[in-house]
Amino acid sequence: MLRVRIFLAFALLLNILSFNLTAQNGKKETSLKADQLVKEALVNFRESNFEKSLIISRVALNAATAAKNNTLISRSYNIIAANYNELSEVDKAIFFYKKSLIYANRTDNDSIKYNLYNNLGNMYCFEKKQFDIGIYYYKKSIAYGLKINDLSQVYFTNVNIAWAYFDVGKFKEGYPYLKFVSNNTEKYSDKSTEIIANMLNGMYLNYKNENDAANAYFLNAIAAGKTSDERSDLSYAHLEYSKFLMKIKKYKEAYENLSLYNKITEELYNQQKLKKASIAGFNLELDEYKRQIDKIENEKISQYQSLKKSRIIVILFVLISLILLFLIITLIKNIRFKKKHNLELLKAKEIAEEASLLKTQFISTISHELRTPLYGVVGITNMLLEEHKELSRSQHLSSLKFSARYLLSLVNDILQINKIEENKVVLENLTFNISDEIMMIKNSLSFLSQKNNNKINIYIDPYIPEYLIGDKLRLAQILMNLVSNALKFTKNGEVEVKVDLLKTEGKNHFLAFLIKDNGIGIATVDQNKIFEKFVQVGRKDEDYQGTGLGLSIVKRLLGLFGSTITLESDLGQGTSFSFIIPFEHDPEKTKKIIAEIEVDLTSNEVHKILIVEDNRINQLVTKKIIEKNNYICKVVDDGFGALEILEKETFDLILMDINMPLMNGFETSKRIRLQDIKTPIVALTAFDKDEITDEAISSGINDIIIKPFEPVKLFKIISYLIEEAKNAG
């Protein structure tokens, strides 16, 4: 929705006029181009052409980044945020305003800092309704206005603060700011602020029940608005005047002013413009993610080249040391050189580690932001299919569900490859039946096999023991990737999955796996490439899907098992992959593992569950899943709501979201434990489990489950924790 935008465009224009181009050498031309694009994007923004403004801002940001010009980068992000602000994409607007502030703080441009703090004050006061945070940003804005000795900007922010207080009914607190505005109107006001100042005086006098004076101010505001280009300010004058007229029971005039407000708003924000601008904004966000990834990869390449040069220097150093071993002066020089070189290596190592950490944090953030909406998409799709059986054959719903799961698979693949590279994957010991696991994979890929008219043939050596011990999840991931690849690149053919018992050494049984197809095959020249990340050889976009991560993950997972993969293939002759993995066979250990993981889900007892979740869609999905299992369920929006309801009611278990405003899930859990509440808490989050385990444990959280999740897994954890809590009591 529209809210306070006083002097946003004007302040942006001031930044343009105050900006002194300082680019040097080859970057000067790029900076000039970026500066011109920023101006063009601003013009389109002021004309409410948000689609074109976002597209041009995107190009401007790329040019500013290439020129490494922090001022231009900040201004580009500022305009992007302003567009999202007008499109009611509140969280995105705040994100890009803060990005702009990061780069602004790297410059001496206090004018743009003033502008950004003012905009953030608008967002938090009028959009997020977090009044205290908004006032904090406004006061920071005033501080920068005083620093640059520009009382006109201080005047503008006082207008915003007065409006913010009046908007929440705090007329006494807002009056001093309105008084400052009224006393300085002749010095600093223009057409736009004349509208707002008159409107605010009308609102205050309405509060004081001085109706005649209030009416006069409202009429002055509307009269000024009709001669001004700031149509949105005129619309708000009509809106506030309609509220006043309703109060004094002039209903016809109130209705007319409200109609004028709606008419102006519709003219300013045509739905087709918003739709196109949203598409442009999505492309801009993708550029932002790509820019971060490219930055990380370039830094890694740079560090690798630096380390490679360092090795050459070390070799030369050794040779010179041998030749000049008996010369004291050369020995002293070599010692000094070595010390300097070690410092360079240490610095390079620190930079490389910092780049790796940045990459991990970036991937974690992106995965969380994608998993959260995917949880809602998958959950609501499943609800529609379950509650409306007539939609089970709907091609649209099936496509939606497939697309969501495909995107989730992509996120998981990227996280998996990152974990392996960071050495964070540890193999687990689980008991499993090899036949059951392969049949499950076959069934899950039945849709893909039918799509290409393929047949899956399975052979399991009968001498393989019924139960083995090892990491069945990683094995299933390896087989799933290989079999799905075989099905994708084979049409009207067969895919063979064969497992033989190769040998036995003590309790270890070495299994030889073969996945073979008669599909298109892989050329010899390409066979060394396919295990690299993001590579698909012989791919046609209309035929195959995928990221090219599958075989890279397979190779790395097999490395964890201490195994390697062998490839045999030729064009038109099909492809076969083979590898060997040892698994333990120990009947006594198997019985113990099975006993530890068995959970009774047959209980008829009704449990009471509290859901703490700020996302309304995720609330709906989780509540439906819980109540479907005949549990009683209550939902609160945040941590404060959870603490309040726990003072009045008792629950068997709490499902706690982690990433919440005001107070996150960790802090909420700590406060619950400080109140001596023993109720089990399960973190229901989109964060990766390995990232939050330590903090979750220290906060008093009992277990973690990642969204989206299988309902059976959730209910196993719930049943186990509730039963454990009863036994402990």
272 pLDDT band, cuts 50/70/90, is: very low
Q: What's the mean pLDDT in 620-646?
A: 88
Q: Average the pLDDT over each of 267-281, 297-311, 634-648 and give the range with the smallest value.
A: 267-281
1-148+271-306 fold: 1.25.40
Q: What's the mean pLDDT in 305-330?
A: 72
384 pLDDT band, cuts 50/70/90, is: low
Give the residue with greater pLDDT, 11 vs 549. Answer: 549
378 exposure class (CB count in 10 Å sphere: 0-12, 13-18, 19+) = buried
**What pLDDT sits at residue 15?**
46
The Cα 555–Cα 653 span in angstroms is 41
What three-state secondary structure class fits 342? helix
226 pLDDT band, cuts 50/70/90, is: confident
**Quick check: 626 and 652 in contact, CB under 8 A?**
no
Q: Average the pLDDT over each of 65-69, 291-295, 343-347 and give the range with the smallest value.
A: 291-295
**Quick check: 260 and 237 in contact, CB under 8 A?**
no
Structure tokens at 689: 């489990």
Q: What is the DSSP string of 254-317?
A: HHHHHHHHHHHHHHHS-HHHHHHHHHHHHHHHHHHHHHHHHHHHHHHHHHHHHHHHHHHHHHHH
**What pLDDT sits at residue 514?**
95
Give the residue with greater pLDDT, 638 vs 540. Answer: 638
Q: What's the mean pLDDT in 270-281?
A: 52
**What pLDDT sits at residue 27?**
66
Q: Examine the pLDDT at 591 and tell me if it is beyond 80.
A: no
Query: To the nearest whole number, what is the mean pLDDT of the chain?
Result: 78
The bridge status of strand 566-570 relative to strand 430-432 is unpaired
The Cα 485–Cα 515 span in angstroms is 10
Q: What is the pLDDT of residues 404-421, one digit of tens each?
A: 555 665 566 665 555 565
Radius of gyration of the chain (CA): 32
- ∠318-319-324 over CA atoms, to 5°? 100
576-585 core/surface letters (b: 16 or more CB in 10 A; e: else): bbbbbbbbbb
293 pLDDT band, cuts 50/70/90, is: very low
Q: Which CATH number fits domain 608-728: 3.40.50.300, 3.40.50.2300, 3.30.450.20, 3.10.105.10?
A: 3.40.50.2300
The Cα 288–Cα 282 span in angstroms is 10
Q: Examine the pLDDT at 127 and tell me if it is beyond 60.
A: yes
Residue ranges per structural domain of the chain: 1-148+271-306, 352-423, 430-597, 608-728
286 pLDDT band, cuts 50/70/90, is: very low
Q: What's the mean pLDDT in 253-266?
A: 86
Distance of alpha carbon 672 from the chain centroid: 28
Containing 634, the helix (H) or strand (E) segment is strand 632-636
User: Is the Cα dihedral 487, 491, 492, 494 positive or negative?
Assistant: negative
492 pLDDT band, cuts 50/70/90, is: very high
Q: Which residues pair with 460 in a beta bridge?
A: 499
Q: Examine the pLDDT at 13 and tell me if it is beyond 50.
A: no
**What pLDDT sits at residue 281?**
54
Containing 706, the helix (H) or strand (E) segment is strand 703-706
Q: Average the pLDDT over each of 270-284, 424-438, 604-618 and give the range with the smallest value.
A: 270-284
Q: What is the pLDDT of residues 432-480, one digit of tens each?
A: 889 888 888 888 777 778 888 999 999 999 999 988 998 887 788 788 8
**Quick check: 609 and 651 in contact, CB under 8 A?**
yes
**What pLDDT sits at residue 289?**
47
**Quick check: 610 and 655 in contact, CB under 8 A?**
yes
Contacts of 677 (CB under 8 A, 6+ apart): 646
The bridge status of strand 430-432 relative to strand 494-505 is unpaired
CA distances to 18, 65, 86, 687 from 41, in Å: 17, 16, 14, 36
**What pLDDT sits at residue 273?**
53
Common-topology check for domains 430-597 and 608-728? no
Q: What is the pLDDT of residues 144-190, one digit of tens each?
A: 888 888 777 788 888 888 888 888 888 888 888 888 888 887 777 77
Name which of 136, 164, 117, 154 is nearest 3 in CA terms.
Answer: 164
**What pLDDT sits at residue 713?**
78
Secondary structure of 196-246 in the HEC alphabet?
HHHHHHHHHHHHCCCHHHHHHHHHHHHHHHHCCCCHHHHHHHHHHHHHHHH
Distance of alpha carbon 528 from the chain centroid: 34
671 pLDDT band, cuts 50/70/90, is: very high
Q: What is the pLDDT of residues 538-568, one digit of tens each?
A: 544 444 445 555 687 788 888 888 899 988 9
**What pLDDT sits at residue 622?**
87
Q: Examine the pLDDT at 497 and tell me if it is beyond 90.
A: yes
Q: What is the pLDDT of residues 673-708, one digit of tens each?
A: 999 888 999 998 877 777 788 888 899 999 988 877
Q: Which ranges in 8-126 belong to alpha helices (H)?
A: 8-18, 27-46, 50-67, 70-86, 90-104, 110-122
**What pLDDT sits at residue 170?**
87
The Cα 220–Cα 230 span in angstroms is 15
The Cα 439–Cα 447 span in angstroms is 14
What's the CATH architecture for 430-597? 2-Layer Sandwich (3.30)
319 exposure class (CB count in 10 Å sphere: 0-12, 13-18, 19+) = exposed
Q: Examine the pLDDT at 586 and tell me if it is beyond 70.
A: yes
